[in-house]
């Protein structure tokens, strides 16, 4: 499917994200319609490369500590499961070290497909599932997101909800491959299914004067508005979106020291429904909205 939008116009120009006085070769180059230029970036620094993440996950403690468990998406899936008379199929793309997959599997009436291309990351994720006694509810797939989605579609199955955090967003240099992943994700959803997407955005890509978000060589945040436009063009309906500055603390390079840095996060929930059929579940992208949630979650943890 060919998606037309203003971000894929194929303009014959590229520009550096280096600020005045900085070495351009130590920063990213971006070309509208193409994405980030990677020829000058070592593979070990490219977040779209398995080498980078296998090396990062060998020292997984910093990333485990930086992961912030969010009750908002867990509460949403829990409430969705209460409305379904069938087991929910949950796909977690770019699932990393597995903490979120394990939490999703704690929710009754769910099967979780954990997808990540890092063997090192999935070793950690598999052990977490075993330790948490939810390994029977998690299927771990070590492969590229697009390959997995194609195989899932070919199987004839449909997903109730897909979580796409970071991966194929700020980890994917190619804008066209990013569109492809979102396209495959939309085709994977059942009618009334949900895509919960969180990616990082770089405002400097559309406003060179907005320099609040640092440019990190090998990190590939998207232009503001890009994800929303693509998903609407794919026929999905927006339920809610938000942007938020998000401080983070983890290594930016393999074997590096954790450092404080700032992201600009874009969060959105889309529903696959021609009639914009949203079940009306009250939710927040980060925190649970029900005063009952803590007791519900504590009960679910005790079931492990």
Predicted confidence at residue 41, as pLDDT, reads: 84
Task: List, for the chain, all residue ranges whose pLDDT scores fall below the cut of 50.
Answer: 1-5, 7-11
Residue 111 lies in a domain: yes
Residue 1 lies in a domain: no
Residue 105 lies in a domain: yes
Q: How many domains does one find in the chain?
A: 1
Question: pLDDT of 202-258, one tens digit each?
Answer: 999 999 999 989 898 888 999 999 999 999 999 999 999 999 998 877 666 656 677
The domain of 163 spans 6-302
Predicted confidence at residue 57, as pLDDT, reads: 60
This prediction's pTM: 0.87
Tell me the two tokens of residue 30: 């971006």
Residue 12 lies in a domain: yes
Question: Percent of the chain having pLDDT more than 90?
Answer: 61
Question: pLDDT of 86-113, one tens digit each?
Answer: 999 999 998 888 899 999 999 999 999 9
* CATH number assigned to the domain comprising residue 101: 3.40.50.150
Residue among 234, 229, 220 nearest 167 (CA): 220
């Amino acid at each position: 499917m060919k998606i037309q939008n203003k971000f894929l116009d194929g303009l014959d120009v590229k520009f550096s994200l280096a600020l005045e006085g900085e070495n351009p070769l130590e920063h990213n180059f971006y070309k509208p319609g193409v994405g980030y230029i990677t020829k000058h970036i070592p593979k070990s620094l490219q977040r779209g490369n398995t080498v980078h993440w296998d090396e990062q996950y060998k020292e997984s403690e910093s990333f485990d500590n930086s992961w912030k468990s969010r009750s908002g998406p867990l509460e949403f899936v829990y409430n969705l499961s209460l409305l379904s008379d069938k087991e929910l199929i949950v796909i977690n793309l770019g699932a990393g070290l597995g903490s979120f997959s394990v939490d999703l599997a704690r929710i009754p009436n769910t099967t979780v497909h954990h997808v990540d291309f890092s063997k090192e990351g999935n070793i950690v994720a598999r052990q977490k599932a075993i330790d948490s006694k939810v390994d029977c509810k998690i299927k771990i797939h070590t492969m590229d997101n697009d390959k997995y989605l194609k195989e899932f579609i070919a199987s004839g199955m449909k997903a109730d909800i897909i979580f796409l955090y970071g991966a194929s967003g700020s980890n994917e240099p190619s804008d066209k491959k990013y569109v492809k992943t979102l396209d495959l994700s939309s085709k994977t959803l059942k009618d009334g299914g949900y895509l919960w997407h969180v990616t990082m955005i770089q405002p400097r890509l559309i406003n060179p004067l907005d320099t609040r978000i640092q440019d990190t060589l090998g990190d590939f945040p998207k232009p503001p508005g890009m994800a929303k436009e693509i998903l609407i063009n794919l026929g999905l309906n927006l339920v809610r979106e938000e942007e938020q500055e998000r401080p983070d603390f983890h290594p930016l390079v393999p074997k590096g020291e954790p450092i404080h840095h700032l992201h600009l996060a874009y969060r959105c929930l889309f529903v696959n429904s021609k009639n914009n059929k949203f079940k009306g579940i009250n939710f927040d992208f980060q925190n649970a909205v029900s005063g009952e949630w803590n007791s519900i979650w504590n009960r679910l943890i005790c079931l492990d």
